[in-house]
Chains A and B, each alone.
Chain A
Amino acid sequence: MIVVVGAGPAGIAAALAVQECGKAVTVVDENPSAGGQIWRGDPTHRWVARFRAFNIPLISGVRVVWGYPAARTLVLEDAVGARRLAYDKLVVAVGSPEIFLPFPGWTLPGVFGAGGLQALVKSGLPVRGKNVVVAGTGPLLLAVAASLRKKGANIRLIAEQTPAALLWPFAKQLSGRASKLLQGIGLAWDLAGIPYAPASWVTAAQGDGRLQRIVLNRRGTLVTEDCDYLAVGFGLRPATELAAIMAGPDTIVAGTGDADLSLLEGRIAGYTAAGDLEKARGLEPERDQARTFAASIDRTFAVRDELRQLADSGTIICRCEDVPLGRLEGKTCFRDAKLHTRCGMGACQGRVCGPALEFLFGWHGASPRPPIFPARVGSLLSEG
Protein backbone atom coordinates (compact mmCIF):
# COMPACT_ATOMS: atom_id res chain seq x y z
CA MET A 1 0.00 0.00 0.00
CA ILE A 2 1.06 3.57 -0.67
CA VAL A 3 0.72 5.93 2.30
CA VAL A 4 0.56 9.70 1.93
CA VAL A 5 1.17 11.88 5.00
CA GLY A 6 -0.64 15.21 4.64
CA ALA A 7 -3.98 15.97 3.00
CA GLY A 8 -3.10 19.43 1.70
CA PRO A 9 -2.77 20.22 -2.00
CA ALA A 10 0.39 18.09 -2.34
CA GLY A 11 -1.06 15.09 -0.51
CA ILE A 12 -4.41 15.27 -2.28
CA ALA A 13 -2.73 15.45 -5.69
CA ALA A 14 -0.42 12.56 -4.78
CA ALA A 15 -3.29 10.36 -3.61
CA LEU A 16 -5.36 11.07 -6.73
CA ALA A 17 -2.38 10.26 -8.95
CA VAL A 18 -1.84 6.94 -7.17
CA GLN A 19 -5.52 6.13 -7.48
CA GLU A 20 -5.43 6.99 -11.17
CA CYS A 21 -2.70 4.36 -11.58
CA GLY A 22 -4.97 1.78 -9.98
CA LYS A 23 -2.94 1.32 -6.79
CA ALA A 24 -4.21 1.34 -3.20
CA VAL A 25 -3.55 4.50 -1.20
CA THR A 26 -4.25 5.77 2.31
CA VAL A 27 -3.83 9.34 3.51
CA VAL A 28 -3.00 10.39 7.07
CA ASP A 29 -3.57 13.93 8.37
CA GLU A 30 -3.53 15.33 11.86
CA ASN A 31 -6.38 17.66 11.02
CA PRO A 32 -10.01 16.57 11.26
CA SER A 33 -10.56 17.24 7.55
CA ALA A 34 -8.71 17.31 4.24
CA GLY A 35 -7.64 20.50 2.47
CA GLY A 36 -4.37 21.54 4.07
CA GLN A 37 -3.59 25.11 5.01
CA ILE A 38 -5.21 26.65 1.98
CA TRP A 39 -8.49 24.77 1.52
CA ARG A 40 -9.23 23.86 5.11
CA GLY A 41 -12.84 24.62 5.84
CA ASP A 42 -13.63 24.71 2.14
CA PRO A 43 -14.94 21.22 1.39
CA THR A 44 -16.39 22.45 -1.89
CA HIS A 45 -13.04 23.32 -3.41
CA ARG A 46 -12.50 21.45 -6.68
CA TRP A 47 -9.55 19.38 -5.44
CA VAL A 48 -11.03 18.60 -2.05
CA ALA A 49 -14.30 17.58 -3.69
CA ARG A 50 -12.43 15.29 -6.10
CA PHE A 51 -10.52 13.77 -3.25
CA ARG A 52 -13.77 12.94 -1.49
CA ALA A 53 -15.53 11.78 -4.62
CA PHE A 54 -12.91 9.07 -5.11
CA ASN A 55 -13.45 7.78 -1.57
CA ILE A 56 -9.77 7.75 -0.77
CA PRO A 57 -9.31 6.43 2.77
CA LEU A 58 -8.33 9.27 5.11
CA ILE A 59 -7.08 8.62 8.62
CA SER A 60 -7.72 12.03 10.15
CA GLY A 61 -7.01 13.56 13.54
CA VAL A 62 -3.86 11.46 13.74
CA ARG A 63 -0.32 12.74 13.80
CA VAL A 64 2.70 10.91 12.47
CA VAL A 65 5.23 11.26 15.28
CA TRP A 66 8.04 8.97 14.13
CA GLY A 67 8.85 6.13 11.79
CA TYR A 68 11.30 3.46 10.67
CA PRO A 69 12.15 3.74 6.98
CA ALA A 70 14.10 0.46 6.91
CA ALA A 71 11.04 -1.37 8.24
CA ARG A 72 8.68 0.78 6.12
CA THR A 73 6.60 1.67 9.16
CA LEU A 74 5.13 4.89 10.51
CA VAL A 75 4.21 5.59 14.13
CA LEU A 76 0.84 7.34 14.42
CA GLU A 77 -0.58 8.97 17.51
CA ASP A 78 -3.98 10.38 18.41
CA ALA A 79 -5.74 11.42 21.60
CA VAL A 80 -6.33 7.82 22.57
CA GLY A 81 -3.10 6.09 21.76
CA ALA A 82 -0.53 5.04 19.23
CA ARG A 83 -0.39 2.60 16.39
CA ARG A 84 1.79 1.60 13.51
CA LEU A 85 1.11 1.80 9.83
CA ALA A 86 3.08 -0.18 7.28
CA TYR A 87 3.64 1.01 3.72
CA ASP A 88 5.33 -0.03 0.52
CA LYS A 89 5.92 3.52 -0.65
CA LEU A 90 5.60 6.68 1.39
CA VAL A 91 4.80 10.20 0.23
CA VAL A 92 5.65 12.90 2.78
CA ALA A 93 3.51 15.97 2.01
CA VAL A 94 3.40 17.81 5.32
CA GLY A 95 3.54 21.36 4.01
CA SER A 96 5.42 24.49 4.97
CA PRO A 97 4.87 26.25 8.28
CA GLU A 98 5.21 29.99 8.63
CA ILE A 99 8.39 31.76 9.65
CA PHE A 100 8.10 33.91 12.79
CA LEU A 101 10.70 36.48 13.75
CA PRO A 102 11.05 37.92 17.24
CA PHE A 103 10.40 41.54 18.21
CA PRO A 104 9.54 43.05 21.60
CA GLY A 105 6.06 41.89 22.61
CA TRP A 106 5.69 39.13 20.01
CA THR A 107 4.72 36.67 22.75
CA LEU A 108 1.61 38.65 23.78
CA PRO A 109 -1.72 36.87 23.27
CA GLY A 110 -3.31 38.48 20.22
CA VAL A 111 -0.14 38.30 18.15
CA PHE A 112 -0.66 35.52 15.63
CA GLY A 113 1.08 34.25 12.55
CA ALA A 114 -0.42 35.77 9.40
CA GLY A 115 -1.45 32.40 8.05
CA GLY A 116 -2.00 31.45 11.68
CA LEU A 117 -4.79 33.93 12.27
CA GLN A 118 -6.28 32.98 8.94
CA ALA A 119 -6.19 29.31 9.90
CA LEU A 120 -8.02 30.10 13.15
CA VAL A 121 -10.59 32.14 11.27
CA LYS A 122 -11.04 29.24 8.86
CA SER A 123 -11.76 27.02 11.83
CA GLY A 124 -14.43 29.43 13.04
CA LEU A 125 -12.88 32.35 14.93
CA PRO A 126 -15.12 35.39 14.49
CA VAL A 127 -13.24 38.58 13.57
CA ARG A 128 -16.16 40.84 12.71
CA GLY A 129 -15.44 44.35 13.92
CA LYS A 130 -11.96 43.47 15.18
CA ASN A 131 -9.14 45.86 14.40
CA VAL A 132 -6.44 43.81 12.72
CA VAL A 133 -2.99 44.74 11.43
CA VAL A 134 -1.44 42.37 8.89
CA ALA A 135 2.34 42.56 8.74
CA GLY A 136 5.53 40.82 7.71
CA THR A 137 6.32 39.94 4.16
CA GLY A 138 5.15 38.06 1.10
CA PRO A 139 2.07 37.52 -1.02
CA LEU A 140 0.39 35.53 1.74
CA LEU A 141 -0.25 38.83 3.57
CA LEU A 142 -2.60 39.86 0.77
CA ALA A 143 -4.50 36.60 0.83
CA VAL A 144 -4.82 36.81 4.61
CA ALA A 145 -6.00 40.43 4.61
CA ALA A 146 -8.58 39.71 1.92
CA SER A 147 -10.02 36.69 3.66
CA LEU A 148 -10.13 38.37 7.08
CA ARG A 149 -11.84 41.38 5.63
CA LYS A 150 -14.42 39.13 4.01
CA LYS A 151 -15.23 37.88 7.49
CA GLY A 152 -15.83 41.44 8.65
CA ALA A 153 -12.45 42.32 10.16
CA ASN A 154 -11.42 45.94 10.08
CA ILE A 155 -7.98 45.68 8.46
CA ARG A 156 -6.12 48.78 9.64
CA LEU A 157 -3.11 48.29 7.46
CA ILE A 158 -0.92 45.81 5.62
CA ALA A 159 2.69 46.50 6.60
CA GLU A 160 4.99 44.89 4.00
CA GLN A 161 8.68 45.15 4.88
CA THR A 162 9.79 44.94 1.24
CA PRO A 163 10.48 48.37 -0.26
CA ALA A 164 8.33 49.63 -3.10
CA ALA A 165 11.36 49.70 -5.39
CA LEU A 166 11.38 45.88 -5.33
CA LEU A 167 7.61 45.37 -5.23
CA TRP A 168 6.62 47.18 -8.41
CA PRO A 169 9.02 45.43 -10.80
CA PHE A 170 7.81 42.19 -9.25
CA ALA A 171 4.17 43.10 -9.75
CA LYS A 172 4.90 43.98 -13.39
CA GLN A 173 6.61 40.69 -14.04
CA LEU A 174 3.54 39.06 -12.56
CA SER A 175 1.01 40.46 -14.95
CA GLY A 176 0.69 37.15 -16.81
CA ARG A 177 0.57 35.18 -13.60
CA ALA A 178 -1.34 37.65 -11.51
CA SER A 179 -4.42 35.49 -11.36
CA LYS A 180 -2.35 32.68 -9.98
CA LEU A 181 -0.80 34.64 -7.20
CA LEU A 182 -3.70 36.86 -6.35
CA GLN A 183 -6.18 34.02 -6.60
CA GLY A 184 -8.23 35.73 -9.23
CA ILE A 185 -9.20 39.33 -9.72
CA GLY A 186 -11.41 38.98 -6.66
CA LEU A 187 -8.45 39.67 -4.45
CA ALA A 188 -7.70 43.12 -5.81
CA TRP A 189 -11.33 44.01 -5.20
CA ASP A 190 -11.34 42.51 -1.70
CA LEU A 191 -8.30 44.57 -0.82
CA ALA A 192 -9.59 47.86 -2.18
CA GLY A 193 -9.37 50.58 0.44
CA ILE A 194 -6.94 48.80 2.76
CA PRO A 195 -3.73 50.83 3.21
CA TYR A 196 -0.77 48.84 1.87
CA ALA A 197 2.47 50.20 3.30
CA PRO A 198 5.70 48.98 1.71
CA ALA A 199 9.01 49.40 3.60
CA SER A 200 7.07 49.17 6.88
CA TRP A 201 7.32 46.74 9.77
CA VAL A 202 6.18 46.21 13.35
CA THR A 203 8.88 47.16 15.85
CA ALA A 204 6.93 46.28 19.02
CA ALA A 205 3.66 44.85 20.27
CA GLN A 206 2.31 46.27 23.51
CA GLY A 207 -0.53 45.68 25.92
CA ASP A 208 -1.49 44.51 29.36
CA GLY A 209 -1.70 40.73 29.24
CA ARG A 210 -2.87 40.87 25.63
CA LEU A 211 -2.19 42.87 22.50
CA GLN A 212 -3.60 46.41 22.56
CA ARG A 213 -1.36 48.35 20.20
CA ILE A 214 1.65 48.04 17.96
CA VAL A 215 4.49 50.35 17.11
CA LEU A 216 5.18 50.50 13.42
CA ASN A 217 8.18 51.71 11.51
CA ARG A 218 6.41 53.25 8.55
CA ARG A 219 9.02 54.17 5.97
CA GLY A 220 11.32 55.47 8.67
CA THR A 221 8.76 57.09 10.99
CA LEU A 222 7.56 55.41 14.18
CA VAL A 223 3.79 55.42 14.57
CA THR A 224 1.45 53.71 17.02
CA GLU A 225 -1.64 51.80 15.93
CA ASP A 226 -4.30 50.41 18.26
CA CYS A 227 -5.43 46.91 17.34
CA ASP A 228 -7.02 43.74 18.71
CA TYR A 229 -5.06 41.28 16.61
CA LEU A 230 -1.74 41.34 14.80
CA ALA A 231 -1.24 38.81 12.01
CA VAL A 232 2.47 38.71 11.29
CA GLY A 233 4.43 36.27 9.13
CA PHE A 234 7.70 36.23 7.23
CA GLY A 235 7.06 33.62 4.59
CA LEU A 236 6.92 29.84 4.64
CA ARG A 237 9.54 27.18 4.82
CA PRO A 238 9.12 23.48 4.14
CA ALA A 239 8.91 21.25 7.22
CA THR A 240 11.88 18.93 6.89
CA GLU A 241 11.75 16.83 10.07
CA LEU A 242 9.61 13.92 8.93
CA ALA A 243 11.27 13.85 5.51
CA ALA A 244 14.69 13.62 7.20
CA ILE A 245 13.63 10.79 9.50
CA MET A 246 11.95 8.80 6.75
CA ALA A 247 14.62 9.42 4.10
CA GLY A 248 15.23 6.31 2.02
CA PRO A 249 14.53 4.60 -1.28
CA ASP A 250 10.81 4.18 -0.57
CA THR A 251 10.12 7.76 0.53
CA ILE A 252 9.17 10.62 -1.76
CA VAL A 253 8.85 14.19 -0.53
CA ALA A 254 6.36 16.62 -2.06
CA GLY A 255 5.04 20.08 -1.37
CA THR A 256 7.58 22.80 -0.91
CA GLY A 257 5.68 25.86 -1.90
CA ASP A 258 2.45 27.56 -2.81
CA ALA A 259 -0.59 25.54 -3.75
CA ASP A 260 0.24 25.33 -7.48
CA LEU A 261 3.76 24.09 -6.91
CA SER A 262 2.60 21.72 -4.19
CA LEU A 263 -0.07 20.27 -6.48
CA LEU A 264 2.52 19.60 -9.18
CA GLU A 265 5.01 18.08 -6.79
CA GLY A 266 2.23 15.99 -5.29
CA ARG A 267 1.16 14.60 -8.65
CA ILE A 268 4.76 13.78 -9.54
CA ALA A 269 5.24 12.06 -6.18
CA GLY A 270 2.02 10.07 -6.62
CA TYR A 271 2.93 8.83 -10.10
CA THR A 272 6.45 8.01 -8.93
CA ALA A 273 5.17 6.07 -5.92
CA ALA A 274 2.77 4.14 -8.15
CA GLY A 275 5.58 3.32 -10.58
CA ASP A 276 4.41 5.40 -13.55
CA LEU A 277 7.67 7.26 -14.10
CA GLU A 278 6.73 8.44 -17.57
CA LYS A 279 3.75 10.41 -16.29
CA ALA A 280 5.90 11.79 -13.50
CA ARG A 281 8.60 12.97 -15.89
CA GLY A 282 6.03 14.59 -18.15
CA LEU A 283 5.17 17.06 -15.38
CA GLU A 284 8.73 18.04 -14.57
CA PRO A 285 9.07 21.00 -16.94
CA GLU A 286 5.91 22.58 -15.52
CA ARG A 287 7.17 21.96 -12.00
CA ASP A 288 10.55 23.51 -12.76
CA GLN A 289 8.80 26.61 -14.05
CA ALA A 290 6.75 26.82 -10.85
CA ARG A 291 9.94 26.45 -8.81
CA THR A 292 11.62 29.28 -10.69
CA PHE A 293 8.62 31.46 -9.95
CA ALA A 294 8.70 30.49 -6.26
CA ALA A 295 12.39 31.38 -6.11
CA SER A 296 11.71 34.82 -7.54
CA ILE A 297 9.10 35.39 -4.83
CA ASP A 298 11.64 34.40 -2.18
CA ARG A 299 14.19 36.83 -3.61
CA THR A 300 11.74 39.71 -3.81
CA PHE A 301 10.44 39.24 -0.29
CA ALA A 302 13.75 38.44 1.40
CA VAL A 303 13.71 39.78 4.95
CA ARG A 304 15.73 42.98 5.30
CA ASP A 305 18.67 43.39 7.66
CA GLU A 306 16.99 46.04 9.82
CA LEU A 307 14.67 43.38 11.22
CA ARG A 308 17.65 41.70 12.89
CA GLN A 309 17.87 44.69 15.23
CA LEU A 310 14.30 44.56 16.56
CA ALA A 311 14.73 42.13 19.46
CA ASP A 312 16.39 43.59 22.55
CA SER A 313 18.21 41.68 25.28
CA GLY A 314 14.96 41.02 27.14
CA THR A 315 13.00 39.80 24.11
CA ILE A 316 12.12 36.12 24.38
CA ILE A 317 13.61 34.15 21.48
CA CYS A 318 12.69 30.60 22.53
CA ARG A 319 9.04 30.76 23.52
CA CYS A 320 8.92 27.24 24.93
CA GLU A 321 11.79 27.69 27.37
CA ASP A 322 11.54 31.49 27.78
CA VAL A 323 15.10 32.17 26.68
CA PRO A 324 15.67 35.89 26.04
CA LEU A 325 18.11 37.22 23.49
CA GLY A 326 20.47 38.40 26.24
CA ARG A 327 21.16 34.83 27.32
CA LEU A 328 22.20 33.84 23.82
CA GLU A 329 24.99 36.36 23.65
CA GLY A 330 28.40 34.76 23.32
CA LYS A 331 26.96 31.45 22.13
CA THR A 332 28.58 30.18 18.97
CA CYS A 333 25.99 27.88 17.40
CA PHE A 334 22.54 26.37 17.91
CA ARG A 335 24.07 23.37 19.70
CA ASP A 336 25.97 25.61 22.10
CA ALA A 337 22.80 27.59 22.80
CA LYS A 338 20.79 24.41 23.37
CA LEU A 339 23.32 22.99 25.82
CA HIS A 340 23.64 26.14 27.87
CA THR A 341 20.21 27.74 27.73
CA ARG A 342 17.77 25.02 26.59
CA CYS A 343 16.93 27.29 23.66
CA GLY A 344 15.18 25.11 21.07
CA MET A 345 14.76 22.20 23.51
CA GLY A 346 11.12 22.81 24.37
CA ALA A 347 7.86 21.44 23.06
CA CYS A 348 8.08 22.92 19.56
CA GLN A 349 11.57 21.49 19.21
CA GLY A 350 13.01 24.55 17.60
CA ARG A 351 10.33 24.91 14.95
CA VAL A 352 9.69 28.52 15.95
CA CYS A 353 13.09 29.71 17.24
CA GLY A 354 15.10 27.70 14.68
CA PRO A 355 14.32 29.92 11.68
CA ALA A 356 14.61 32.99 13.94
CA LEU A 357 18.11 31.99 15.05
CA GLU A 358 19.07 31.26 11.49
CA PHE A 359 17.99 34.77 10.56
CA LEU A 360 19.54 36.48 13.59
CA PHE A 361 22.86 34.62 13.83
CA GLY A 362 23.11 32.39 10.76
CA TRP A 363 22.88 29.30 13.00
CA HIS A 364 21.46 26.16 11.50
CA GLY A 365 19.27 23.82 13.51
CA ALA A 366 20.42 20.50 14.85
CA SER A 367 18.75 17.41 13.37
CA PRO A 368 15.43 16.29 14.83
CA ARG A 369 15.45 13.91 17.77
CA PRO A 370 12.75 11.37 18.47
CA PRO A 371 9.88 11.90 18.55
CA ILE A 372 9.42 14.76 16.14
CA PHE A 373 6.46 15.90 18.18
CA PRO A 374 6.11 15.35 21.91
CA ALA A 375 4.66 11.86 21.97
CA ARG A 376 3.69 9.49 24.69
CA VAL A 377 6.44 7.04 25.56
CA GLY A 378 4.33 4.03 24.63
CA SER A 379 4.09 5.21 21.03
CA LEU A 380 7.79 4.65 20.56
CA LEU A 381 8.51 1.57 22.59
CA SER A 382 9.24 -1.24 20.19
CA GLU A 383 11.10 -0.80 16.91
CA GLY A 384 8.87 -1.38 13.88
Chain B
Amino acid sequence: MPEIRVDGMLVNAAEGVSLAVALLSAGRTRFRTSLSGEPRAAVCGMGVCMECRVTIDGQPHRLACQVQVREGIEVRT
Protein backbone atom coordinates (compact mmCIF):
# COMPACT_ATOMS: atom_id res chain seq x y z
CA MET B 1 0.00 0.00 0.00
CA PRO B 2 1.62 3.25 -1.10
CA GLU B 3 2.18 5.73 1.68
CA ILE B 4 1.84 9.36 0.74
CA ARG B 5 2.12 12.61 2.65
CA VAL B 6 -0.78 15.04 2.50
CA ASP B 7 -0.14 18.48 4.03
CA GLY B 8 2.48 16.81 6.16
CA MET B 9 0.29 13.95 7.39
CA LEU B 10 0.91 10.34 6.43
CA VAL B 11 -1.93 8.75 4.46
CA ASN B 12 -2.11 5.13 3.36
CA ALA B 13 -3.58 4.82 -0.11
CA ALA B 14 -4.95 1.76 -1.81
CA GLU B 15 -2.85 0.28 -4.60
CA GLY B 16 -3.46 1.63 -8.10
CA VAL B 17 -6.02 4.32 -7.28
CA SER B 18 -6.00 7.92 -8.43
CA LEU B 19 -4.79 10.59 -6.04
CA ALA B 20 -8.32 12.06 -5.94
CA VAL B 21 -9.60 8.70 -4.74
CA ALA B 22 -6.82 8.44 -2.14
CA LEU B 23 -7.69 11.88 -0.74
CA LEU B 24 -11.44 11.26 -0.66
CA SER B 25 -10.97 7.81 0.88
CA ALA B 26 -8.89 9.40 3.63
CA GLY B 27 -11.78 11.76 4.36
CA ARG B 28 -10.09 14.80 2.83
CA THR B 29 -12.76 17.03 1.37
CA ARG B 30 -10.70 20.17 0.73
CA PHE B 31 -8.56 19.67 -2.37
CA ARG B 32 -8.14 23.37 -2.96
CA THR B 33 -9.40 26.64 -1.55
CA SER B 34 -11.35 28.84 -3.94
CA LEU B 35 -10.66 32.55 -4.42
CA SER B 36 -13.30 33.41 -1.84
CA GLY B 37 -12.06 30.78 0.61
CA GLU B 38 -14.49 27.93 -0.02
CA PRO B 39 -13.29 24.34 0.19
CA ARG B 40 -13.50 22.55 -3.16
CA ALA B 41 -13.09 18.92 -4.14
CA ALA B 42 -13.18 16.73 -7.25
CA VAL B 43 -16.38 17.04 -9.31
CA CYS B 44 -16.03 15.62 -12.81
CA GLY B 45 -13.50 12.84 -12.22
CA MET B 46 -12.25 13.27 -15.77
CA GLY B 47 -9.91 16.23 -15.99
CA VAL B 48 -12.40 18.86 -17.04
CA CYS B 49 -13.56 20.85 -13.99
CA MET B 50 -10.10 21.58 -12.51
CA GLU B 51 -11.54 21.54 -8.99
CA CYS B 52 -9.18 18.75 -7.90
CA ARG B 53 -5.99 20.78 -8.37
CA VAL B 54 -3.29 20.06 -5.80
CA THR B 55 0.46 20.52 -5.53
CA ILE B 56 2.41 17.30 -6.03
CA ASP B 57 6.12 17.24 -5.11
CA GLY B 58 6.24 21.00 -5.48
CA GLN B 59 4.45 21.07 -8.84
CA PRO B 60 1.32 23.20 -8.53
CA HIS B 61 -1.99 22.72 -10.38
CA ARG B 62 -1.78 18.96 -10.89
CA LEU B 63 -5.12 17.23 -11.36
CA ALA B 64 -5.58 14.70 -8.57
CA CYS B 65 -8.17 12.79 -10.62
CA GLN B 66 -5.71 12.18 -13.45
CA VAL B 67 -2.70 11.09 -11.38
CA GLN B 68 -2.14 7.65 -9.91
CA VAL B 69 -0.77 7.50 -6.37
CA ARG B 70 2.85 6.60 -6.04
CA GLU B 71 4.78 5.71 -2.91
CA GLY B 72 6.21 8.72 -1.16
CA ILE B 73 4.63 11.60 -3.05
CA GLU B 74 4.16 14.86 -1.17
CA VAL B 75 0.78 16.45 -1.70
CA ARG B 76 -0.29 19.92 -0.66
CA THR B 77 -3.91 20.95 -0.84
Contact = CB atoms under 8 A, between A and B. Distances in A.
B39 A209 contact: yes
Taking chain B's interface residues, is the majority helix, strand, or loop, or is none over half, making it mixed? loop
A115 interface: yes
Contacts of A120: 18, 20-21, 24, 42, 45, 65
Given A100-B43, A117-B45, A319-B34, A347 B50 contact: yes
Contact of A116 (B31, B40, B45): B45
Contacts, number: 115
Q: Which of A124, A319, A321, A351 has the most CB of B within 10 A?
A: A124
A119 interface: yes
Which size class do A's interface residues fall under? 35 or more
Interface in A77-128: 79, 97-98, 100, 107, 109-113, 115-120, 123-126
Which size class do B's interface residues fall under? 35 or more
A98 B49 CA distance: 10
B62 interface: yes
A125 B21 CA distance: 5
A322 B34 contact: yes
A32 B45 contact: no
Given A119-B44, A124-B21, 19 more contacts: A37-B46, A97-B46, A98-B48, A112-B42, A112-B45, A116-B43, A116-B45, A116-B46, A117-B45, A123-B18, A123-B45, A124-B25, A209-B30, A321-B35, A322-B35, A322-B36, A351-B49, A352-B49, A373-B47
Interface of B: 14, 16-18, 20-21, 24-25, 29-31, 34-36, 38-51, 53, 56, 59, 61-62, 65-68
